[in-house]
A and B are shown apart, each in its own frame.
Chain A
């Protein structure tokens, strides 16, 4: 079984620029999550999709962050404009059922300078 794919692996941008991250979950996993992990902290949920619908985006800074999951498969997370405090690892995860743990991708490390 292929894992959760994420790209790019690293990204360095200047503040006020825009950036996009891509995620391809495990085939058949209806639920997809984007997490932000700041250095030294645990992952924090940004947004959760069930198929192509948003289930929870209460912690997504909607003035600068946006995400979509077209056709209920791949997902894209965008930041525009980026701030220094957005520097973090952005993890994508998917799950099959509520009893399961999540399967995570390797994440994208974003550095905003």
Chain B
């Protein structure tokens, strides 16, 4: 079974600084997708960024980028120029076919 591990229950960053959230996963498959979701207090899960495992190039979405290390099964999220609105729970997720598994999440606090 695929498992997703987020080893940082909580992280804190100063506004305008950069923070990296860690995620590792376990799989024997070579074709899959990885995601980072943001969950603010409103509870709605919002897709932040997506990475296809067959692509070597790291995905980027404005201030959000990933460091995808397929051999190491690592998928970290970097948030640049952190903003107060980035404060939320962040979940890493692995998807193969219709099976999506989530990590336990990292709570990000942004200090003004």
Contact = CB atoms under 8 A, between A and B. Distances in A.
A interacts with B: yes
Interface of A: 31, 33, 40-45, 48, 50, 55-56, 89, 91, 93, 98-99, 101-107, 109
Main secondary structure, interface of B, reads strand
Interface of B: 4, 33, 35, 37, 42-47, 50, 52, 91, 93, 95, 97-105
Given A101-B35, A106-B43, A109-B43, 13 more contacts: A40-B104, A40-B105, A44-B102, A45-B100, A56-B98, A98-B97, A99-B52, A101-B50, A101-B95, A102-B45, A104-B44, A104-B46, A105-B44
A106 B46 CA distance: 10
27 contacts: A31-B98, A41-B104, A41-B105, A42-B4, A42-B104, A43-B45, A43-B91, A45-B99, A45-B100, A48-B98, A55-B98, A56-B98, A91-B43, A93-B45, A98-B97, A98-B98, A99-B33, A99-B52, A101-B35, A101-B50, A101-B93, A101-B95, A102-B45, A104-B37, A106-B42, A106-B44, A107-B44
Contacts of B99: 45, 56
Contact of A42 (B47, B97, B103): B103
Nearest to A31: B98
Given A31-B98, A42-B104, A98-B98, A104 B33 contact: no
A104 B42 CA distance: 12
